[in-house]
Amino acid sequence: MESAAPFAPGEGLTVVYSWPKGIIAQPSEPAPILERWGRSPYRPVHLAMPVLLLAVMLLFWIRWGKDPAPRPVIPLFSPPAGVEAGFARYVRTMTTDDKSFAAMILGMAVRGILAIEETSLAGEAAKRAGTLPSGAGTALKLLSKLAGTSYRLKLNREKLAGARLTEDERRIADDLFGSTRTDIHLSSADRPVIQDAFRRLGLGFRERGRPLLKTNLGKWIGGVVLFELYALLMLIFMILSGEPRFEPILALLAGPFLLLPLALPLPSGKGSFIAKFFVRVFFPGIFLFVVAGAGFAGASSGLDVDLLSLPGPFLCVGVLLVFKHLLRVRTEEGARLNESIEGLRMFITAAEKHRLEMLSAPSETPQLFETLLPYAFALDAAETWANRFQSVLAAANYTPSWYRGDLNTFTTAAGVAAFTSGFSGAVSSGTRSSGSGGSGSSGGGGGGGGGRGW
């Protein structure tokens, strides 16, 4: 290469060279993002895993997840020995809820150990308004009138000293009233005390229920191990292949960040609503949000994603959550006790025709109504029981000694139903954390009555 003249200071030289197209291979363009949402070589495994896990868990359920064979249920005219109304509900539903707690209190009331006093929140507010500035006191009274009825529990210490209480009834009395207190308000004012009593009742029921209920937790954990093994193997295959993919990472993280928060048993009591919200809702929600964002971001940065493989890990988590509930069953002893409870409920809910067919059925008296009212309430049959005794109670001018409130409450079935509903709601408001909704629950599981009709 030669120059026709010398270069002056600041001048440059441009060289242009061209060649025919094809001598040098043209570089490939980056793959569009949508092309990364392509088929995974492990798609059959991701789609087959939920089916395999479902088959394994079904085998576990068929072998270990069913209650013992039911026997014919016959009507019982009195509760099983040593079984309080709240514990009867626990055996029937396999969980301790607000209604179990309220039934225990109602059972102690009809025996005279407690008195249930109906009060208005307006009256309670009037007591407190004197300690507040005039404007705040007036506002409190107005809001309380809108809020309606509340209830107080009054302890009769003389009756308590001479009563034959079960361990759980004694625990409730100690937790609510201690050694000196005789009065408690079923409201936010005494919420910490009520919550602690509810929590300890749940622990007591769970301990009593150990011979009656079986969780089959080991079988469920076997399913979890199978799911985690699948996730780990997919991750190993991805590493060995050198092709980064999103699905193995999702499968590995779904266990600790989705399954565990949704399956973990959480205690009831103070702060339980906040804990449940963060563990059951907020944490899984954040995980799903991050997963969606990571999937799109990964596809744009070289991480391949197979849309048809993505449901696999989520379906596995769903299968495990369902069978955690289904594998919880009654033992032989628990099944027989539940049949006795169903026999009592059969008597409580029996229609007139069936009552006439029952041999040795007790006479319908106010005393029988009182004795079985807590059980009717616990077994979701309070209104039916009240309807049955409406004429009996009216003829006897029945006024319960353990209830202080509107004298007309127990003259009609509607009044009894309104009382049990209102009282249950008041207990629920005491067991729930501030700002929470729904019913409280201590322990997990579910299920209903079993056995055959008569």
Pairing of strands 96-97, 149-155: unpaired
For the stretch 376-397, pLDDT in tens is 999 999 999 999 999 999 899 8
Whether the pLDDT of residue 277 is over 60: the answer is yes
Give the whole-angstrom CA distance, residue 77 versus residue 155. Answer: 29
Give residue-wise pLDDT tens across range 316-368. 999 999 999 999 999 999 999 999 999 999 999 986 656 656 667 788 899 99
Q: How much is the mean pLDDT over the chain?
A: 82
Cα–Cα distance between 69 and 66 in angstroms, integer?
Answer: 8
Amino acid at 224: V
Could you tell me the strand order of the sheet in which 149-155 lies? 183-185, 149-155, 114-120, 403-404
Length of the chain: 454
DSSP-derived 3-state class of residue 199: helix
Residue 46, beta-bridge partner list: none
H-helix or E-strand spanning residue 115: strand 114-120
Phi, psi of 153 (to 5 degrees): -110, 125
Q: DSSP string covering 411-434, please?
A: GSHHHHHHHHHHHHHHHHHHHSPT
Structure tokens of 394? 């009216």
| Contact assessment for residue 104 and residue 378, using Cβ atoms and an 8 Å cutoff | no
Contact 197, 175 (CB under 8 A): yes
**Helices 43-64 and 311-326, axial angle in degrees (round to 10):** 0
Higher pLDDT, 110 or 302: 110
pLDDT tens figures, 301-312 = 567 778 888 899
